[in-house]
């Protein structure tokens, strides 16, 4: 029987609750997160198809999904000083299942956020707006932690999915920043960190300019169609 994503149902026996990435319980748990992730992906795909049919333009450019590797899960739990148990994994690690939604423009990001808030069968746990208030590093994105229902053996279980919504320009910066900052064995200098923040601000200005051009073009199109 698959472990349920509800900490009240996690066995309290210390040996049984101890996290083991090699056992069947862990594999079943990852499968449950994967089902939740695919549920969100399917919902978002359907929204984009409907939006394109109605407005004749894309709300979403593309979607990227991933399940955190066992090594990354353990590393994050150790970094945060969590005891390696299933209960801590379920309660405290919110990004095991991740869905990244890449939109053409900022306005699309907030349209997607509003739509996700209306998902009737899901429960939003937390939202963080790093677009209105970027991180000090320059990072911009909109994050939502959401509980997604999964039906298994006539039982409804909930698994958390982290949704990141950003523009193409934000994703461009975030992808390169991650490559430079987190995959550099020797770390980076303070100057490079400052440069990355500067480039984030420049890209944000370009992002805004493209959105204004798009809005003018779309407004003109609507006027001509009337």
Range in 9-18, 43-52, 87-96, 116-125 with the lowest mean pLDDT: 9-18
This prediction has a pTM of: 0.88
Question: pLDDT (tens digit, 9 = 90+) per residue, 15-33?
Answer: 558 999 998 889 989 999 9
Query: What is the number of alpha carbons within 13 Å of residue 61 lying toward its C-beta?
Result: 15
Question: pLDDT (tens digit, 9 = 90+) per residue, 122-145?
Answer: 999 999 999 999 999 999 999 999
Q: Looking at the predicted structure, is the pLDDT value of residue 1 above 60?
A: no
Report how far residue 25's alpha carbon sits from residue 220's, in angstroms, rounded to the nearest whole number: 57
Report how far residue 96's alpha carbon sits from residue 122's, in angstroms, rounded to the nearest whole number: 17
Task: Identify any residues that bridge with 64 across adjacent strands, giving them in sequence order.
Answer: 100
Residue identified by tokens 């001509």 is 224
Q: For 78-134, what is the HEC assignment?
A: HHCCCCCEHHHHHHHCCCCEEEEEEECCHHHHHHHHHHHHCCCCCEEEEEEECCCCC
Report how far residue 4's alpha carbon sits from residue 13's, in angstroms, rounded to the nearest whole number: 16
Question: φ, ψ for residue 124 (rounded to 5)?
Answer: -80, 125
Rg (CA), the chain: 20
Question: pLDDT (tens digit, 9 = 90+) per residue, 94-119?
Answer: 999 999 999 999 999 999 999 999 99
Alpha carbon 43 to its chain centroid, in Å, reads 14
| Dihedral (CA of 16, 17, 21, 27) sign | positive
As a CATH number, domain 7-168 is 3.30.460.10
4 confidence band (pLDDT: 50, 70, 90): very low
Domain ranges of the chain: 7-168
Question: pLDDT (tens digit, 9 = 90+) per residue, 159-203?
Answer: 999 999 999 999 999 999 999 887 666 678 899 999 999 999 999
Could you write out the DSSP letters of every residue in 133-199?
S--TT----EEEEEEEEEEETTEEEEEEEEEEEEEHHHHHHHHHHHHHHTS-TT---HHHHHHHHHH
- Residue 186: per-residue pLDDT: 66
- Residue 185: per-residue pLDDT: 67
- Residue 156: per-residue pLDDT: 85
Helix (H) or strand (E) holding 19: none
Report how far residue 109's alpha carbon sits from residue 15's, in angstroms, rounded to the nearest whole number: 44
Residue identified by tokens 């929204």 is 47
Question: pLDDT (tens digit, 9 = 90+) per residue, 49-86?
Answer: 999 999 888 999 999 999 999 999 999 999 999 999 99
Report how far residue 214's alpha carbon sits from residue 65's, in angstroms, rounded to the nearest whole number: 28
């Amino acid at each position: 029987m698959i472990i349920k994503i509800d900490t009240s149902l996690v066995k309290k026996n210390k040996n049984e609750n101890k996290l083991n990435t090699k056992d069947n319980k862990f594999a079943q748990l990852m499968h449950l997160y994967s089902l939740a992730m695919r549920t969100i992906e399917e919902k978002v795909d359907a929204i984009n198809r409907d939006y394109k049919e109605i407005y004749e333009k894309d709300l979403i450019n593309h979607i990227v999904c991933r399940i955190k590797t066992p090594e990354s899960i353990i590393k994050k739990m150790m970094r945060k000083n969590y005891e390696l148990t299933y209960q801590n994994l379920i309660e405290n690690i919110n990004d095991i299942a991740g869905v990244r939604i890449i939109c053409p423009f900022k306005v699309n990001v907030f349209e997607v956020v509003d739509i996700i808030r209306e998902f009737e069968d899901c429960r939003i746990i937390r939202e963080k707006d790093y677009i209105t208030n970027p991180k000090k590093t320059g990072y911009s994105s909109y994050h939502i932690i959401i509980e997604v229902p999964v039906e298994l053996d006539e039982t409804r279980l909930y698994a958390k999915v982290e949704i990141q919504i950003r523009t193409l320009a934000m994703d461009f910066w975030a992808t390169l920043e991650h490559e430079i900052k987190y995959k550099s064995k020797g770390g980076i200098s303070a100057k490079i960190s400052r440069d990355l923040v500067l480039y984030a601000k420049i890209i944000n200005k370009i992002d805004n300019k493209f959105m204004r051009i798009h809005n003018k073009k779309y407004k003109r199109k609507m006027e001509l169609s009337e």
